[in-house]
């Protein structure tokens, strides 16, 4: 089945209640907090899966500790021409150039209003491709969802909206965060705001982002989005397609960037995303410095029961280390991962 068709079928199945539901409560070892939010476990569904807030409740009932919908833009947009989603099957990777296809703020808001989601609900906000002012679009996102979401993610790291990643640069990022956090201050509730960054950053860019972020009251980072690099999949089928690469091939790069950002931002909360495909890689992401983790692409290859396997593996990891809670393993191997030899450690 075509990759995008398969994705649509999965959303439909979840909407119809065909997904398995978690039968038992999560073990106490997995309970953790993130940006003041109490999570039953640290494993979340990343943005990109449920772009239009169609199935956050079924995902929560499956057992995710956090569910992030979006990316949503102020106005509906169709995204890039199809085909725009490709499997790199030999490497358990995915390349997408979706282009923030979504039904817009109002459709997502209508679905979320009054909905009870038994997990932390995140709304990932973005900018319309043809917008004259990207920053204004993010402000609209904060205004629309600040009183509805448990947290907001400012997504400036998709490679599929021309010019978007430029917002990661020093002055542009300062202007963006000032505008977003000013809008947040005017909301009824102080919703945590996280910034999602790209893995394709050099040392100087990471230094600049850390410097800007630490000068604000931003609540956390999500590291990382997809990569435009093709080094891990060079020569494989579909590797030449334009877009962002995710899945297993992204794991090493995104985890190194996570650890390097952890070194730069101290105790600031970080959600680790990118290439998690097993209990071992989930644990590694936490040891590299993630307070919580998200997955998406691996479910394409590992099936929905991957969530349960990862949670069981995390509990086993906590117990094997002689600890009582997953939070005690956060950053245990940050330095090794930052050097690039985390997998050996």
Where does the pLDDT of residue 345 fall: very low under 50, low under 70, confident under 90, or very high at 90 and above?
low
Where does the pLDDT of residue 254 fall: very low under 50, low under 70, confident under 90, or very high at 90 and above?
very high
**Residue-wise pLDDT tens digits, 9-51:** 999 999 999 988 999 999 999 999 999 999 999 999 999 999 9
**Residue-wise pLDDT tens digits, 274-297:** 999 999 999 999 999 999 999 999
**Distance from C-alpha of 271 to C-alpha of 296, rounded to nearest angstrom:** 14
CATH of the domain at 315: 3.20.20.70
Tell me which residues are annotated as active site.
158
Q: Which domain holds residue 182?
A: 3-17+27-336
Query: What pLDDT shows up at residue 86?
Result: 97
Q: Is residue 345 part of a domain?
A: no
Contact 254, 273 (CB under 8 A): yes
Q: Is residue 111 part of a domain?
A: yes
Domains in the chain: how many in total?
Answer: 1
């Amino acid at each position: 089945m075509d990759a995008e068709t398969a994705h649509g079928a999965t959303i439909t199945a979840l909407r119809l209640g065909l997904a398995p539901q978690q039968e038992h409560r999560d073990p106490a070892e997995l309970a953790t907090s993130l940006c003041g939010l109490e999570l039953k476990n640290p494993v979340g569904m990343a943005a990109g899966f449920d772009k239009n807030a169609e199935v956050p409740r079924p995902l929560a009932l499956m057992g995710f500790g956090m569910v992030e919908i979006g990316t949503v833009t102020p106005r509906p947009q169709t995204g890039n021409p199809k085909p725009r989603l490709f499997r790199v099957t030999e490497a358990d990777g995915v390349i997408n150039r979706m282009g923030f296809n979504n039904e817009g703020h109002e459709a997502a808001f209508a679905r979320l209003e009054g909905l009870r989601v038994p997990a932390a609900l995140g709304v990932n906000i973005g900018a319309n491709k043809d917008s004259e002012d990207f920053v204004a679009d993010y402000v609209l996102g904060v205004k629309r969802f600040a009183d509805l979401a448990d947290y907001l993610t400012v997504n400036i790291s998709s490679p599929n909206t021309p010019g978007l990643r430029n917002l990661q640069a020093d002055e542009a990022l300062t202007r963006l965060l000032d505008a977003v956090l000013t809008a947040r201050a005017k909301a009824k509730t102080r919703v945590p705001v996280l910034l999602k960054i790209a893995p394709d950053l050099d040392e100087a860019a990471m230094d600049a982002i850390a410097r800007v972020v630490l000068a604000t009251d931003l609540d956390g980072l999500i590291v990382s989005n997809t990569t435009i690099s093709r080094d891990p999949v060079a020569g494989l089928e579909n590797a030449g397609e334009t877009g962002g690469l995710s899945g297993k091939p992204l794991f090493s790069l995104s985890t190194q960037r996570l650890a390097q950002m952890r070194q730069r931002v101290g105790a600031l909360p970080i959600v680790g995303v990118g290439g998690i495909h097993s209990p071992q890689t989930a644990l590694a992401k936490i040891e590299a410095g993630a307070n919580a983790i998200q997955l998406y692409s691996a479910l394409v290859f590992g099936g929905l029961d991957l969530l349960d396997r990862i949670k069981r593996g995390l509990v086993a990891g906590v117990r094997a280390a002689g600890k009582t809670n997953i939070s005690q393993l956060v950053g245990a191997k940050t330095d090794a991962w930052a050097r690039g030899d985390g997998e050996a450690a």
